[in-house]
Amino acid sequence: MAIIAHMHLTEQPFDLSRHVPLQRALFELSIIEALATKAGPPYEQFVKDAIADAGVEDLHQEIIAGIQDGPWWIDLSADELSSKIFNELERPPFADAGTKRSIRWSALGVRWSVEFDNTYADTLVGERLAATAQIILADLALRDPVLLPGAVTFSVAAGTPTSEMDFQHQQGSDGARWEVVLPSIHIRDRDEYDRIARETLAVVHCAVREASVLPDERLESMLFEALDAGVLSNILFGVPFDIAYADSTKADDFARIPRSERSLVVDDGRTPAPGPILSFPETAGLGYSVEDGIRQAATRYETIPRLLRSTLPSLRRDYHFQETVQALRADGWLDWQILVAVFNVAANARMRSSPPPRSAEEAQRLQERFLAPEPADDPLDPSIFAPGLLHEALMMSLGSTLHNWGLAIPVNGVHPEALRELLSRRYNYGVDDASHIDPFEPSSN
């Protein structure tokens, strides 16, 4: 399709000296043809016919003839060449020749996937959604939506031309999953094009919102900035993806494309590495400053010992807890992290007998009790502050740390490990510290 577009849209399209991208495309086409020939049916004849239909046979042969010492792939078997392509491109060759399609890429720390049945109707809406998502993410990369590391998968199907868009969110162990139905385009009308583009954009926007820790109003503002900058025009680019695809590949031609259940190489689910602009941002996150990080640490050193007025003195005298402190420090824990974990274990232990709140007022009272100082002279048993429980408590406290930076946990929750990675890499979590007296030293009593 790209080569056909080149032939129609560029001046002197057959002049290789003027069109370096065409040289690269034809070189890659040569590798595709070599693999198809080595693999045999159903790939071989289809690729040869595609080269002939594109009218680039002579250019293709010119590229092969110009390879010094001959093509490097001559002596490779089909399996060897397939594996080499997979290792270099990080996607299996002929991945679109099966009964299922999966388009994968990485952007802003998230592994994105669009999955659909390899039918004509589903391919039109599936590739449209993938193209829209990639355009939106490229624009948002310039604005920093502060996405959590993880995975987002769209499972897409085509609706009828008059059906309504529908999408549902599911949270799985491997990340967020969206079940999406997108209507197909049934009339060639500008208003219809805009409607389809906006509905597809809405699906991507909701997925980004669920992956972002920005407050809703900040993310909405970011999206409006993108719209004002013309991102919708980039999505349409004259005509919607569906129309451009349908004009170049008719339904009957698509149906004649051979399919194979046999993959040349097993797809292990890897995702191609992103380019520099789309890599996980290594810059400081929105609202972060070293001064604020140190101030937050100092506040914890000042506040938490007062809240643990009964339990902390007891822990300072406990030999086993002192060993735990030393082990956690050796693992890289800062003292304020240990304090936060101890406080959460203690507060949860005291709240265990409280019934769930039945109203906003009851929830507020429980929160106030949670953050209140312990009763005097009522220490908790030191044995409950085991390393495993402390680690769990620290992970559960990450949401509070996120709020300290003016950020918000997505409505459908978050994986603590993803949250910790974000805070560590963009908010210096576990690095920023303040000078302090050892809160666990026995002589501190």
Lowest mean pLDDT among 265-279, 372-386, 409-423: 265-279
pLDDT number for residue 364: 76
Q: What is the pLDDT of residues 228-258, one digit of tens each?
A: 888 888 887 767 788 888 887 888 888 888 7
249 in Cβ contact with 1 (< 8 Å):
yes
Question: What mean pLDDT is reported for the chain?
Answer: 87
Q: What does the chain come to in residues?
A: 445
Alpha-carbon dihedral angle through residues 130, 131, 134, 139, given to the nearest 10 degrees = -140
pLDDT number for residue 287: 92
Query: Is residue 302's pLDDT more than 90?
Result: yes
Q: What is the pLDDT of residues 392-423, one digit of tens each?
A: 999 999 999 999 999 999 888 888 999 999 99
Q: How confident is the model at residue 8 (pLDDT cuts 50, 70, 90)?
A: low
- The Cα 332–Cα 210 span in angstroms is 31
Please, what's the b/e burial string for 137-173 (b: 16 or more CB within 10 A of its CB; e: otherwise)?
Answer: bbbbbeebbbbbbbbbbbbbbbbeeeeebebeeeeee
Query: Is residue 177's pLDDT more than 90?
Result: yes
Mean per-residue pLDDT, 311-317:
95
Beta bridge partners of residue 158, listed in sequence order: 182
Highest mean pLDDT among 33-42, 143-152, 234-243: 143-152
pLDDT number for residue 367: 74
Lowest mean pLDDT among 59-73, 312-326, 428-442: 59-73
Q: How confident is the model at residue 273 (pLDDT cuts 50, 70, 90)?
A: confident
Query: Is residue 443's pLDDT more than 80?
Result: no
Give the pTM. Answer: 0.84
Q: Where are the alpha helices (DSSP H) in 101-237?
A: 120-140, 190-211, 216-228, 231-236
pLDDT number for residue 239: 72
Q: How confident is the model at residue 295 (pLDDT cuts 50, 70, 90)?
A: very high
Lowest mean pLDDT among 73-77, 269-273, 313-317, 400-404: 269-273
- Which bin fits 244, alpha (ψ -120 to 50), beta or left (φ > 0)? alpha
Q: Where are the alpha helices (DSSP H) in 43-151?
A: 43-54, 57-65, 78-89, 120-140
Mean per-residue pLDDT, 84-98:
82
Tokens representing residue 6 in the block: 């080149």
pLDDT number for residue 202: 92
More confident residue, 97 or 110: 110
Tokens representing residue 389 in the block: 């429980």
pLDDT number for residue 356: 75
Mean per-residue pLDDT, 382-389:
96
Mean per-residue pLDDT, 24-47:
85
25 in Cβ contact with 3 (< 8 Å):
yes
Query: Is residue 221's pLDDT more than 80?
Result: yes
Query: Is residue 366's pLDDT more than 80?
Result: no
pLDDT number for residue 299: 97
pLDDT number for residue 160: 82
- Helix, coil or strand: residue 183: strand
- The Cα 390–Cα 345 span in angstroms is 7
Query: Is residue 116's pLDDT more than 80?
Result: yes
pLDDT number for residue 9: 67
213 in Cβ contact with 234 (< 8 Å):
no
Lowest mean pLDDT among 302-306, 315-319, 346-350, 358-362: 358-362
pLDDT number for residue 158: 93
- Mutual orientation of helices 290-307 and 335-351 as an angle, nearest 10°? 40
Lowest mean pLDDT among 5-19, 34-48, 214-228, 328-342: 5-19
pLDDT number for residue 316: 95
pLDDT number for residue 13: 67
pLDDT number for residue 173: 72
Query: Is residue 263's pLDDT more than 80?
Result: no
More confident residue, 158 or 260: 158
